């Protein structure tokens, strides 16, 4: 898979089927953040941008395990794109 393939696949995912299935990344990440905050019972509040960063770390952990797949790289690019957009708001 070329870098263009990874980026195009991530583009298609975050602007296509995943958006249609789960709604906007920001709204979905806010819901995830609420669940994580409740689960962790944290004093520091997790925000939508933190969800994007933490999901990216999940993908990095999968890559680091030595069992990475091209899908992990695509998802990593997608989470970075969504996080960058949320940060810019």
Confidence check: pLDDT of 84 > 90: yes
Instruction: Encode pLDDT of 20-65 as tens digits.
Output: 777 788 888 898 888 888 878 877 888 999 999 999 998 998 888 8
pLDDT at position 80 is 94
Tell me the domain boundaries of the chain. 3-87
Reference 81, options 23, 36, 28, 15; nearest CA is: 15
Confidence band (pLDDT; 50, 70, 90) for 81? very high
Helix axes 70-87, 48-62, angle to 10 degrees: 160
């Amino acid at each position: 898979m070329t870098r263009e393939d990874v980026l195009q696949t991530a583009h298609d995912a975050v602007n296509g089927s995943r958006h249609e299935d789960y709604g906007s990344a920001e709204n979905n990440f806010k819901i995830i953040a609420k669940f994580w905050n409740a689960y962790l019972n944290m004093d520091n509040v997790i925000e939508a941008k933190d969800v994007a960063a933490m999901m990216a770390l999940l993908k990095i952990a999968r890559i680091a395990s030595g069992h990475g797949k091209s899908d992990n790289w695509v998802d990593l690019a997608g989470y970075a794109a969504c996080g960058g957009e949320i940060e810019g708001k």
